[in-house]
Structure 1
Amino acid sequence: MRFASNMDYKVVFAALETMCEDNFSALCGSSDSVASRLVTCLREVQEHGRALEPVVASLTAVYHHYDFDEETPGNGYRTLVKVLQACLLHIINKGRYIADNCNGAFFRAEHNASEMEAYCSALCQLRALLHLAKQLINDNECGQLYSQQDGELTRRFVQEYSSMHKACFYGRCLGFQFSPALRPVLQTVVISMISYGERYGRQQSRFGMAALSLLTSGKYVIDPETRGTEFERITQNLDVHFWKSFWNLTESGLISGLTRITSNPVQVNLTLTVPPLLLRLPLASDLSLSAAVSPPIAHSGPGPVHMRLISHELREGQDSEELLAFSDTPTTASHRPWVQRHPLSPWLLIHFHGGGFVAQTSKSHEHYLRNWSRELKVPILSVDYSLSPEAPFPRALEECFYAYCWALKNCHLLGSTAERVCLAGDSAGGNLCITVSMKAMTCGIRVPDGMMTAYPATLLTTDASPSRLLTLIDPLLPLGVLAKCLNAYAGIDCHTVPPAVESNSLTTLGRDTAVLLGDLTKGASNWIHSFLDPVLISSGARSQLSLQRRTESSETRRISTPTSTQTTGDHPDYPQGFEPLRAECLAVLLPTSSPIFRNPFVSPLLAPENLLRGLPPVYIVASALDALLDDSVMFAKKLRDMGQPVSLTVVEDLPHGFLSLSQLAKETEYNSRQTEVTSLSRWLTLRRQRFDRGHTLNTLYTPT
């Protein structure tokens, strides 16, 4: 829900005040310990609410200055207010339920008290984030969302992430800011990640780890507090190799098989391996001249580039022996002569997948690529570029650029005349769409006719912005994980951890089976124990234990640890009497301070105008709840101010990476398909603004 006017937040805060007073009247006469906990908690809520109202008032008065335009309301300041509102509405609804039912026979006092305490902790931390946002507004120029010239702001932002308590956002409050349809999905992802993390690094296959994780996941369903604590530990301490391993679970045969069953069927789905050969392409300024395009060589020398061709319809060239020579598994419709062959399409879509530059392939994104090919009626070439930290920048960019040039040169094999060529990508892939186009301009060859980037990463640093404050609460993109991926892509801090042994041999299967049987009793015991605990503990003991845990945890977090005592001055000056909850252990976050992060081909938001002028029309799709929202807004504003064609769409209630979640939540699938397909459809009717190539393209990029 969006604040439509300045009156909306006043109504919400008034409702919060009324709810608190109603509960004080209903609970203050009770001597029950749970009632006492609720009163104490609601007094904290009331205090936070009264302090937050003037902060929200000041933000809502100016946050429209940071939008892309009047028709596209969206920036990190709006998002922080939106997230706060979502938290307040949960508290108000829960408080009304408590006031109406606290004297009922079936009222679950312990459960409701724990829920309210969890949201009170979340509200406390959001109050700190709103205070940080207020500092950003005061210290930055009007309309600027990033403090790129102020290293002090970024240092304080990183310091706060390292020390602030975040577990409350991953327990009972998990995903409260997102669409209700996504919350079960997020809970499944978080629990799977924690359970997988318990087994990470052991000498067994990923299948064995995944199987064993099922036995221990029950306790994280029943005990949200433990879930939050463990998730905070994982996001702060495990290295990039863990995240690569976990995210690549989507590449498993079972999951990819389900993807193919549930997505639209296609006539062509070919994996291609293109050898590293020198290419020659005509210059855009003079078609009679050509430019040489070298194969990728960074870090490991010349090597092949891997791609996947997806086409809903079989088109000319896609069943040719010349194309099948690039494929190891030429099992396509070409072996079914009864399949109708369609003529070459005038359009071609080249796709770069996301995954933080460190994980996933075209297979992870195959579900929506199949849908795009069917709805747009175009062949799609998805590039499987090399991943970091094994192949840091500029290897991925070199491979994507080479794939783009090879596709132009060999479009007739891909089922297209390449009269209209569009790039598409999400997150890291969106970054590569932009930088590939920049590289095409610098080389003097044809640039794409358009590009669609979904929630692109345009500034690969930990610079502070209001939307990036969300990395303190986002279960899909915590700052610690983001920084690990960015440093891996930059080739920094890439020390390796011995990987888990993976093999398809009977020896591995036997070892996994033995470990599975050996841990079966322990795992099953933990599962059953997690269900029985609430029954075995009496109501009074549960209340006393919960109060004791909350008191100890709160006091521990509010008192500076010995490590943080030396850096007390690094924390922002919060209002007198207020201090956010602190984590029991500090996160170690390597700052993105290397000059490589300022390279325009790494962070295109920092590119000078001469590298951006001449880009094709850019269609950006961002999410209001994405920590990288400000990347999209600032990049779109920069292009617009230069006179470059650009459009920005901001969707509501979806997280970063929502394209890859489209199979799991219908609401996500509907919203993502509506915005993505609409943006992609625009380039189908584009005409080159500089000159009319007309039939020339067919003669340049088709065989004689």
Structure 2
Amino acid sequence: MDYKVVFTTLDTVCEEISILSGPSDFPYGAVAERLIKCTKQIQEHGRALEPIVANLSAIFHRYDFDSQTPGNGYRTLVKVLNSCLLHIIQKARYIASHYNSAFFRAEHNVSEIEVYCSALCQLRALIHLAQQLINGNDYGQLYSLQDNDLSQRFVQEYSSMHKACFYGRCLGFQFSPALRPFLQSVVISMISYGETYGKKQSGLGLAALSLLTSGKYVIDPDLRGAEFERITQNLDMQFWKSFWNLTESGLITGLYRIASKQVKLNITLTVPPVTLHLPLASDSSLTANVSPPIAHWGPGPVHMRLISHEIRDGQDSEELLSFSRTNPPPASVSHLPWVQKQPRSPWLLIHFHGGGFVAQTSRSHECYIRTWSKELNVPVLSVDYSLSPEAPFPRALEECFYAYCWALKNCHLLGSTAERVCLAGDSAGGNLCITVSMKAISCGIRVPDGIMAAYPATLLTTDASPSRLLTLIDPVLPLSVLTRCIYAYSYAVQPAVSSSSLSALGRDTAVLLGDLTQGASNWIQSLLDPRWISGGARSPSSSQKTSQSSKIHGTSVPTSGCNLDYPLGFEPLRSECLASVRLTSCPIIKNPFVSPLLAPDNLLRGLPPVHIVASALDALLDDSVMFAKKLRDMGQPVTLTVVEGLPHGFLSLSQISKETETATEVCMAKIREIFEQKNPTPALSKRP
């Protein structure tokens, strides 16, 4: 819908509410007064925002990848604002037409429109920040890579701005409607898990406790929003890791496998750390030595998972099964005469999973890997690289590169001739696809035939961009989560002890000491806050309710030192629980093998075709746009596809809705394009 129509409609429905809200027309006492005050504030925000949106709409095409790919953070902010306005219009129309109904719930409906008014206030602040980014950046640039002041102000605003309104009644309003119940379930599960986290209970006991505590967050969305904000403002990395690693549990993975495509081969492999010898891409008579991963604790094995829809030649070999981690090892299909083997595939897909470098494995990504294996009729090797903060950079990169080289050398065991090799990954895995290819170029060995990177992280810094502003409202990727993952992956100082010793020493505590020290005062204060001391249901006290009410109606907490020139009379709502977020300053973060967007041209030149699939509502959208532009300007083959209405991590949600399924099919089509591309490199030069 055209933004002019939306603003005109918003103003009209607000006028209608103001007219009918007299004591005789709207006989609900104090609720009517709240409704009148709220609609006046909505009108004020709408009238202030309309000219700003008009200016943004006139110029945001400058920041697109090309005219056929409309997508960047400025466009997204306008879309999110538009979605919020449409929800307000819908709710206001409902109130205007149903307030005389016997079943009309005045308190509920007015509370709903108040929360959306709060969300609109915060979005107005984000739009203002976006204006400053436009003024502070070069023409067509989405990131403030040289302006530390802009990034500092962005982090300050995130730390102090109120976010609970985005996690309660209007949770996920910007996403596809089919995803909102799922997001609500995730948020409620995380909060409930937080209440039982650390308690010495069996798995069944924890599940029972979580079930008992989750009900209050279903009934009270405002409490849910406040608790989720509190959890994410000062994040405990070990809690975050353990929650997302619940996807590795037998029950959840069992459900995944029932709902996913069935495959005939699904085995885990452990490859020992031995030096590999691969031919040089420029001269196959010469070889390059590839050492096993050694960072932080010395040589160690690399773990992988091989998935194949069909049993192929080589996959039944005793040599392959000798690498199997499955206990007991799977029976060789040579002993199963009724299983018909297929010839080796000319294709091989190597996959690196997402999870912010800190969580999950190939097991939690099987839901779409199985589909790829069946629909593309290709064996898939998914790498279970070591996770941070126990294994920071460059351990994961070393393991993924070693796995890639091992797969090239041993493709005959994987059921492939490796005439075409594609790297595919999402988020952190997308980063590793790019950096593994860069490392192959640096070592002079064969590069893959193409890369499919879904919503990749190409800039691991807190530099401000319009899409990064979405971290203030995104339940999947808040800025506090993003920065903790960045610091965990880039942490430079590690104890010089063995991998097994690290497990026993509680490595997360040591690694995150800096973060916890800086955030200690805020964290302790939140624990000592009388609202949380009582435990149990943690219902808001009367003073808290008063504070929430004042927030809804536009007053604000002091800004804790933020120095932004907001329009006269306007100030965003402030949180009572300040976040501990700091600017990324570690030099490792600017290493081109950590942040490929910062890589010099000579490290990127020679990359294979890169196909990036991003989401318009992802906080990392601008990473994809800027990296695609950089490759294009260098003359490197690259495509960018932007899907609508989906959050970061949509590949793992492929079975949740039609929209996520379609986006997954887009990724699969890009992989197929790599396998079927014309003018392949001669097979002789590709074989190790």
Aligned to 1:611: 603
Provide the C-alpha distance between the structure 1 equivalents of 2:331 and 2:104, rounded to a whole number of angstroms. Answer: 61
Provide the C-alpha distance between the structure 1 equivalents of 2:584 and 2:96, rounded to a whole number of angstroms. Answer: 49
The one of 538, 559, 565 aligned to 1:573: 565
Aligned to 1:496: 508
Provide the C-alpha distance between the structure 2 equivalents of 1:207 and 1:59, rounded to a whole number of angstroms. Answer: 52
Secondary structure at 2:82 match in 1: helix
Provide the C-alpha distance between the structure 1 equivalents of 2:332 and 2:251, rounded to a whole number of angstroms. Answer: 24
TM-aligned CA deviation for residue 558 of structure 1: 1.1
Matched, 1:418 2:423: no
Aligned to 1:583: 575
The 8 Å contact of residues 333 and 339 in structure 1, kept in 2 or not, is answered as no
- Aligned in 2, Cα 1:151/1:545: closer, same or farther, shift over 3 Å? closer
Percent identity over paired residues: 71
Secondary structure at 1:496 match in 2: helix
- Aligned in 2, Cα 1:332/1:590: closer, same or farther, shift over 3 Å? farther
Letter in 2 for 1:652: E
Provide the C-alpha distance between the structure 2 equivalents of 1:375 and 1:604, rounded to a whole number of angstroms. Answer: 31
Letter in 2 for 1:284: A
The one of 261, 286, 304 aligned to 2:283: 286
Aligned to 1:404: 404
TM-aligned CA deviation for residue 491 of structure 1: 1.2
The 8 Å contact of residues 453 and 613 in structure 2, kept in 1 or not, is answered as yes
What runs of 5+ residues in structure 1 fail to find an aligned partner?
500-521, 534-541
The one of 1, 12, 16 aligned to 1:18: 12
Provide the C-alpha distance between the structure 2 equivalents of 1:208 and 1:485, rounded to a whole number of angstroms. Answer: 30
The 8 Å contact of residues 557 and 576 in structure 2, kept in 1 or not, is answered as no
Provide the C-alpha distance between the structure 1 equivalents of 2:493 and 2:48, rounded to a whole number of angstroms. Answer: 41
The 8 Å contact of residues 420 and 686 in structure 1, kept in 2 or not, is answered as no
Aligned to 2:664: 673
Provide the C-alpha distance between the structure 2 equivalents of 1:583 and 1:687, rounded to a whole number of angstroms. Answer: 55
TM-aligned CA deviation for residue 548 of structure 1: 4.0
**Deviation larger for 84-93 or 234-243:** 234-243
Aligned to 2:456: 456
Within 5 A, what are the aligned runs for 1:119-138? 119-138=116-135
Provide the C-alpha distance between the structure 2 equivalents of 1:363 and 1:155, rounded to a whole number of angstroms. Answer: 38
TM-aligned CA deviation for residue 672 of structure 1: 2.1
Secondary structure at 1:266 match in 2: coil
Deviations 1:246-305 (A, max 9, x none): 000000000011111111111110100000000000000111100000000000100000
Within 5 A, what are the aligned runs for 1:410-449? 410-449=410-449
TM-aligned CA deviation for residue 214 of structure 1: 1.0
Aligned to 1:351: 351
TM-aligned CA deviation for residue 591 of structure 1: 2.2
Provide the C-alpha distance between the structure 2 equivalents of 1:205 and 1:474, rounded to a whole number of angstroms. Answer: 32
Deviations 1:172-227 (A, max 9, x none): 01000000000000000000001111122233455543331111000100101110
Letter in 2 for 1:375: E
Letter in 1 for 2:593: F
The 8 Å contact of residues 235 and 480 in structure 2, kept in 1 or not, is answered as no
- Aligned in 2, Cα 1:498/1:299: closer, same or farther, shift over 3 Å? closer
> What TM-score do you get using the length of structure 2 for normalisation?
0.91
Secondary structure at 1:217 match in 2: helix
Provide the C-alpha distance between the structure 2 equivalents of 1:695 and 1:490, rounded to a whole number of angstroms. Answer: 38
Secondary structure at 1:20 match in 2: helix
The one of 683, 691, 699 aligned to 2:674: 683
Aligned to 2:613: 621
Aligned to 2:57: 60
Within 5 A, what are the aligned runs for 1:588-667? 588-667=580-659
- Aligned in 2, Cα 1:160/1:549: closer, same or farther, shift over 3 Å? closer
Aligned to 2:499: none
Aligned to 2:86: 89
TM-aligned CA deviation for residue 154 of structure 1: 0.3
Aligned to 2:525: none
Aligned to 1:361: 361
The 8 Å contact of residues 557 and 584 in structure 1, kept in 2 or not, is answered as no
Deviations 1:3-45 (A, max 9, x none): 6xxxx11000000000001111111244621111101100000
Provide the C-alpha distance between the structure 1 equivalents of 2:288 and 2:196, rounded to a whole number of angstroms. Answer: 51
The one of 679, 682, 685 aligned to 1:693: 682
The one of 163, 168, 174 aligned to 2:165: 168
TM-aligned CA deviation for residue 685 of structure 1: 1.4
Letter in 2 for 1:560: P
Provide the C-alpha distance between the structure 1 equivalents of 2:112 and 2:216, rounded to a whole number of angstroms. Answer: 17
**Deviation larger for 15-24 or 584-593:** 584-593
**Deviation larger for 39-48 or 331-340:** 331-340
Letter in 2 for 1:496: D
Provide the C-alpha distance between the structure 2 equivalents of 1:342 and 1:74, rounded to a whole number of angstroms. Answer: 43
Matched, 1:559 2:557: yes
- Aligned in 2, Cα 1:606/1:33: closer, same or farther, shift over 3 Å? same
TM-aligned CA deviation for residue 688 of structure 1: 5.4
Secondary structure at 1:61 match in 2: helix
Aligned to 1:107: 104
Letter in 2 for 1:625: L
Provide the C-alpha distance between the structure 1 equivalents of 2:555 and 2:405, rounded to a whole number of angstroms. Answer: 55
Provide the C-alpha distance between the structure 1 equivalents of 2:9 and 2:493, rounded to a whole number of angstroms. Answer: 49
The 8 Å contact of residues 185 and 665 in structure 1, kept in 2 or not, is answered as no
Aligned to 1:331: 330
Letter in 1 for 2:19: S
Deviations 1:337-384 (A, max 9, x none): 211100011000000000000000000001100000000000000000
Secondary structure at 1:62 match in 2: helix
The 8 Å contact of residues 557 and 575 in structure 2, kept in 1 or not, is answered as no
Secondary structure at 1:351 match in 2: strand
Provide the C-alpha distance between the structure 1 equivalents of 2:15 and 2:555, rounded to a whole number of angstroms. Answer: 28
The 8 Å contact of residues 308 and 373 in structure 2, kept in 1 or not, is answered as yes
TM-aligned CA deviation for residue 422 of structure 1: 0.3
> What TM-score do you get using the length of structure 1 for normalisation?
0.89
The 8 Å contact of residues 318 and 332 in structure 2, kept in 1 or not, is answered as no
TM-aligned CA deviation for residue 552 of structure 1: 4.3
TM-aligned CA deviation for residue 554 of structure 1: 5.3
The 8 Å contact of residues 38 and 553 in structure 2, kept in 1 or not, is answered as no
Letter in 2 for 1:16: L
Secondary structure at 2:683 match in 1: coil
What runs of 5+ residues in structure 2 fail to find an aligned partner?
495-506, 512-533
The 8 Å contact of residues 267 and 333 in structure 1, kept in 2 or not, is answered as no
TM-aligned CA deviation for residue 551 of structure 1: 3.3
Within 5 A, what are the aligned runs for 1:210-229? 210-229=207-226
The 8 Å contact of residues 308 and 362 in structure 1, kept in 2 or not, is answered as yes
The one of 311, 314, 317 aligned to 2:308: 311
- Aligned in 2, Cα 1:493/1:203: closer, same or farther, shift over 3 Å? farther
The 8 Å contact of residues 393 and 490 in structure 1, kept in 2 or not, is answered as yes
Aligned to 1:141: 138
CA RMSD of aligned residues (A): 2.2
The 8 Å contact of residues 458 and 605 in structure 1, kept in 2 or not, is answered as yes
The 8 Å contact of residues 268 and 333 in structure 1, kept in 2 or not, is answered as no
Provide the C-alpha distance between the structure 1 equivalents of 2:390 and 2:593, rounded to a whole number of angstroms. Answer: 19
- Aligned in 2, Cα 1:603/1:137: closer, same or farther, shift over 3 Å? same
Provide the C-alpha distance between the structure 2 equivalents of 1:339 and 1:571, rounded to a whole number of angstroms. Answer: 69
Provide the C-alpha distance between the structure 2 equivalents of 1:455 and 1:427, rounded to a whole number of angstroms. Answer: 5
- Aligned in 2, Cα 1:13/1:262: closer, same or farther, shift over 3 Å? same
Provide the C-alpha distance between the structure 2 equivalents of 1:654 and 1:154, rounded to a whole number of angstroms. Answer: 26
TM-aligned CA deviation for residue 242 of structure 1: 1.0
Secondary structure at 2:611 match in 1: strand
Aligned to 2:524: none
Provide the C-alpha distance between the structure 2 equivalents of 1:592 and 1:70, rounded to a whole number of angstroms. Answer: 33
TM-aligned CA deviation for residue 100 of structure 1: 1.0
The 8 Å contact of residues 551 and 573 in structure 2, kept in 1 or not, is answered as no
Aligned to 1:538: none
TM-aligned CA deviation for residue 101 of structure 1: 1.3
TM-aligned CA deviation for residue 550 of structure 1: 3.7
- Aligned in 2, Cα 1:146/1:696: closer, same or farther, shift over 3 Å? closer
Secondary structure at 1:144 match in 2: coil
